[in-house]
Structure formats: structure tokens, C-alpha cells
Amino acid sequence: MLRASSNNRRDRLPPDVLIVTLLDEIAGRLADLYESLIPEGVVTPLTWEVREDNPWELILPKPCFSFIAYNTGPNPVYLIINKSDREYELDVDEAISIDMHAPKIFQLYFYVKPNMRAFVKLLLAR
């Protein structure tokens, strides 16, 4: 039969030390999470001619917080964000501004209808 020795109690950490250690770990992880939600302030301008045979699929190496897309024409352009089911139509001289308030934008897909083309100006914010 095994008995717990009185020495075993001395080897254990007191509960207050364990609680402090756990709270320190939680605080560190929350600080890392908070830092990832602060925008870097980096703005990247891009321009692309979107044609039927040349859609613009932009896969971002680092997710963005927000973007502004402006269609300079001469035809409407369509946009899908992050492979969602929602499609946005941008008419000529129309802009769209999307802000996710977190780094959630990782893919943008622009396309036009057959036999059309459009020039898109894009500002990405990380």
C-alpha cells in the first residue's frame, strides 16, 4: 500500500504562486492578441486593368484591416472579398470602402462581364 509522505506537501507550490503564474501567462497572451489588432499604418496603392481574360485575384501575404477600391472605368467591375458569396458591383467612377476593424481581409477578386474592361485603383491598409 502506498502512502503519501509528508515530504510531498513541501514539494508542491502554494496556490497563490500558481494563480500568479497563470495570470501572468494570460496577461502575456492577451498582450500578444491586442498587438495583432493594432493597424501598422502601412498603406499600399495598386492599380490594375481588369479584363474578361485578365481578372484580378489578389491574395495578400499579410491580411489587411481595410481597403478602398475605385473604378475609373470604362465599364462596371465586380468584387468578391475573401471568397464570400456576396458580390459588390462598382460602376464607373464609384468607390467602395471596407473596414473590418481587424486583419481579416486576405483575398480580393475583381472581374468584369464578357467583352468589357475596367481600371481599378486600390488602397490597402495594414
> Tens digit of pLDDT for each residue in 44-74?
888 899 998 888 898 988 888 899 999 998 9
pLDDT tens-digit readout, 96-113: 999 988 889 999 999 999
Domain coordinates in residue numbering, the chain: 6-36, 43-125
Cell digits of residue 87: 458580390
pLDDT at 6: 54
The least confident of 10-14, 35-39, 86-90, 92-96 is 35-39
Percent of the chain predicted with pLDDT > 70: 86
pLDDT at 67: 94
Mean of pLDDT over the chain: 85
In terms of C-beta density within 10 A (0-12 exposed, 13-18 middle, 19 or more buried), how is residue 75 classed?
A: middle
Please check the confidence at residue 16 and state whether its pLDDT lies above 70: yes
Backbone angles phi, psi at 85, to 5 degrees: -85, -15
Q: Which CATH architecture has domain 43-125?
A: Sandwich (2.60)
Higher pLDDT, 86 or 13: 86
User: What is the bridge-based pairing of β-strands 66-74 and 117-125?
Assistant: antiparallel
